[in-house]
């Protein structure tokens, strides 16, 4: 297992949708978990594979077993948001990702968090990571 | 096929969630489609079966092929809402439901609409309605 | 009022999120209304203004009064989707938009629809369109 | 400040909606945060007030500053779910709630978690808890 410092951040961007706001005038807090998942998927793509293929071709799913989020500043409708994602640990049957959500125009940190996942097959039984995919996730991204 | 007048309304109740509001201070309009689906499911239960069982045991799914909604009055956070649902037509391979969403405390009509559905199997191929279920949907509900 | 044929389509792209799928294995139908709203907002940007500014600076909101959607083909997780949006009619106190959602890779039509809107102020009272914004929406987009 | 053991659980029930499932066949994980919020609102009602009134009449909002969730067992479409909520700490400007989501039919723990909140006014400035409301939240619920 590599130390967490070696993992690089992956970045993607999205724009806050009206449907994601609430009557408090800011983004409803559960939407950050959906954005973090967008970040995970783009991190996979940055490492050379589609998360969709890992599910369909390798029968490996990554259900979430825990989430932790700290909200720092509200996200506002129509804001462009940068989602930064990186792997913080990867083992044979589990993986943890870390995230930062930033307002793109000024770099304000909106929220940060982590999600823990285990590897399961379609029937929900624990299985080990397909090495083709875990190998890619472990690989340092060279720019 | 029975005339639409013979079908009875089914009723269920829900309470507006904070997550369903938007920054305009009212319920975001797409949520009514989710509420209408809650109405469909409770209509099935009123007719003696779980929609879940029709999918799992009879391999019959009812994907939505069209929706029409007219919004009459905004729904507000924490409002109790009555969803009234009825079948308006049922054929061998298709069904249409009609809906009303009402504010429970004063009966104000919030929205009304219809959804059209076809019957498909898990693989997405057209199939006919399992007669066990279509028969129940056609049956007049006696109070 | 210009005839509808004169209005051009505006285009934007999005990628299907895991959260937008349901256990049927396809995108849950209400999400198309959220995507159509993404289309409206980008149409406004194509016409030189942010919908956000119209709400905040001109106190003009465009609540949805009716939606109509026909679903043609299921949208799948991780698909890139093109949302095409155009104005089909604009009057002093109302506007109608039309939409197409297409699978980007092969142009398959996923869904098409329309939404009707009225112009209201923050308190929910009917008002006329701020001419600055309606003028821009009426303007032919030159490529 | 009272010790956390003195706070009682508040209970409410909801039924899993089709829209809350994902293509993995289970409830998408972010929905538990929405359910926890349903739990908070019903806890307030159990303590004799509507959260809506605290926002509107006392200008006190409780934005979420952190969430922590551990997922124990998947929630399935159409399951009835019990949401148990209690206050674990309440201070002049902050409050923490704890939650359990259980499958109603057999008591299986689906998820548990906590949310931290600060008290702010409509403009987003920190303020202290209106004593009328904090007093009620501190009060032991007598059955």
- In this model, does residue C142 exceed pLDDT 90? no
D78 contacts D16 by C-beta, under 8 angstroms: yes
Question: Does position A34 have pLDDT exceeding 80, yes or no?
Answer: yes
Query: Between A and D, how many residue pairs show a Cβ–Cβ distance under 8 A?
Result: 48
Q: C29 at the B interface (CB within 8 A)?
A: yes
What percent of chain D has pLDDT above 70?
A: 93
Alpha carbon of residue C57 to chain centroid: 21
pLDDT of residue A4: 45
State the sign of the Cα–Cα–Cα–Cα dihedral C34, C40, C43, C49.
negative
- Answer yes or no: is pLDDT of A143 > 70: no
ipTM: 0.93
pLDDT band of residue A1 (cuts 50, 70, 90) is very low
A125 inside 8 A of chain D by CB: no
Asked whether the predicted pLDDT for residue B5 surpasses 80, the reply is no
Cβ contact D29–A70 (<8 Å): no
Residue D52 touches partner B, C-beta closer than 8 Å: yes
Would the pLDDT of B68 be above 50? Answer: yes
Model confidence over D48-80: pLDDT tens digits? 999 999 999 999 999 999 999 999 999 999 999
* B31-57 average pLDDT score: 96
Q: What is the DSSP letter of C4?
A: G
Is-contact C8 C139, C-beta < 8 A?
A: no
- To the query of whether residue A106 is one of the catalytic residues in this protein, the response is no
Q: Could you give the C-alpha distances from A30 to A101, C99, D62, D69, in angstroms and in order?
A: 13, 28, 15, 12
The answer on pLDDT for D15 being more than 70 is yes
Q: Residues C68-111: pLDDT tens digits?
A: 999 999 999 999 999 999 999 999 999 999 999 999 999 999 99
- The per-residue pLDDT of chain A, averaged, comes to 93
Beta bridge partners of D90: D95
Residues A35, C20: Cα–Cα separation, whole Å: 12
Q: At A139, is the pLDDT very low, low, confident or very high (cuts 50, 70, 90)? A: confident
pLDDT at D122 over 50: yes
- Chain B residues in contact with A24 (beta carbon < 8 A): 23
CATH of B4-138, one of 4.10.640.10, 3.10.129.10, 3.60.10.10, 3.40.50.1100: 3.10.129.10
Which one of B23, B26, B76 would you mutate to disrupt binding with A, by most A Cβ within 10 Å of its Cβ? B23
Query: How confident is the model over B97-120, as pLDDT tens digits?
Result: 999 999 999 999 999 999 999 999
Residue C66 to residue B70, Cβ atoms within 8 A: yes
pLDDT number for residue D6: 65
Residue of higher predicted confidence among C14 and A3 = C14
Q: Does residue D4 have a pLDDT over 50? A: no
Token pair, residue A95, equals 């993986």
Mean pLDDT of C33-59: 96
The reply to whether residue A21 touches residue B19, judged by beta carbons under 8 angstroms, is no
* Contact in structure between C46 and C54 (CB atoms under 8 Å): no
**Alpha carbon distance C118, C102 (integer Å):** 27
A41 has pLDDT over 90: yes
Query: What residues does each domain of chain A span?
Result: 4-138
8 Å CB contact of C23 and D19: no
A66 closest CA partner among A43, A85, A94, A93: A94
Residue B142 has pLDDT above 60, yes or no: no
Q: CA of A77: which chain B residue's CA is closest?
A: B23
pTM score of the predicted model: 0.95
Q: Which chains touch A (3 or more CB pairs under 8 A)?
A: B, C, D
Contact flag B52-D19 (C-beta cutoff 8 Å): no
Q: Give the span between the Cα atoms of C54 and C64, in whole angstroms.
A: 16
DSSP string, C7-53: PPPEEEEEE--GGGB-TTSSB-TTHHHHHHHHHHHHHHHHTT--HHH
pLDDT at C7: 76
> What tokens were used for B86?
């009825």
The answer to whether the beta carbons of residues C25 and D26 sit under 8 Å apart is no
D79 at the C interface (CB within 8 A)?
no
Question: Is B23 in CB contact (< 8 Å) with chain A?
Answer: yes
Could you tell me the pLDDT band of residue A7, with boundaries at 50, 70 and 90?
Answer: confident
Across the range A64-81, mean pLDDT stands at 98
Q: How many other C-beta atoms can be found within 10 angstroms of the C-beta atom of residue A77?
A: 23
Q: Domain spanning C4-137: which CATH class is it, in words?
A: alpha beta
Identified catalytic residue from B8, B22, B79, B106: B22
Closest CA to D2 of D130, D114, D133, D90: D90
Kindly identify which residue of chain D lies nearest to residue A117, measuring between CA atoms.
D71
pLDDT above 70: residue C3? no
**From the CA of B78, how many Å to the nearest CA of chain D?**
7
Contacts of B21 in chain A (CB under 8 A): 22-23
Q: Is C97 helix (H, G, I), strand (E, B) or coil?
A: strand
Q: How far is C17 from chain A (nearest CA, A)?
A: 7
Is the pLDDT higher at A2 or at A139? A139
Instruction: Give dist(CA D133, CA D143) in Å, integer.
Output: 19
Q: Which residue in A22, A46, A79, A116 is the catalytic one? A: A22
pLDDT at residue C4 greater than cutoff 60: no
- As a whole number, the mean pLDDT across chain D is 93
Distance from CA of B25 to the nearest CA of D (A): 12
Q: Do A22 and B25 touch (CB under 8 A)?
A: no
Q: Does A126 touch chain D (CB under 8 A)?
A: no
d(CA C137, CA C51): 11
Q: Which residues of B touch C26 (CB under 8 A)?
A: 63
B105 contact D CB<8A: no
Q: Between β-strands C64-71 and B64-71, what pairing exists: parallel, antiparallel or unpaired? A: antiparallel
CA angle (C77 as vertex; A60, A69 as ends), nearest 5:
75
Q: How far apart are the C-alpha atoms of D114 and D67, rounded to whole Å?
A: 6
- Report the residue from D33, D71, D124 with minimal CB separation from A66: D71
**Confidence tier at B7 by pLDDT (50, 70, 90):** confident
Of the candidates D61, D65, D71, the beta carbon closest to that of A70 is on D65
Strand order in the sheet with D80-90: A10-15, A80-90, A94-103, A109-118, A64-71, D64-71, D109-118, D94-103, D80-90, D10-15
CB of A18 within 8 Å of a chain B CB? The answer is: yes
């Amino acid at each position: 297992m590599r130390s967490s410092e070696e993992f690089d951040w992956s970045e993607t961007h999205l724009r806050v949708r009206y449907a994601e706001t609430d009557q408090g005038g800011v983004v409803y807090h559960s939407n950050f978990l959906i954005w973090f998942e967008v970040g995970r998927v783009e991190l996979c793509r940055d490492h050379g594979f589609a998360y969709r293929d890992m599910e369909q071709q390798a029968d490996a799913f990554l259900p979430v077993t825990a989430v932790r989020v700290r909200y720092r500043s509200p996200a506002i409708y129509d804001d462009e948001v940068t989602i930064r994602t990186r792997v913080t640990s990867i083992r044979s049957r589990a993986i943890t990702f870390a995230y930062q959500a930033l307002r793109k125009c000024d770099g304000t940190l909106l929220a940060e968090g982590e999600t823990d996942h285990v590897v399961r097959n379609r029937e929900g039984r624990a299985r080990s990571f397909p090495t083709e995919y875990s190998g890619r996730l472990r690989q340092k991204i060279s720019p």
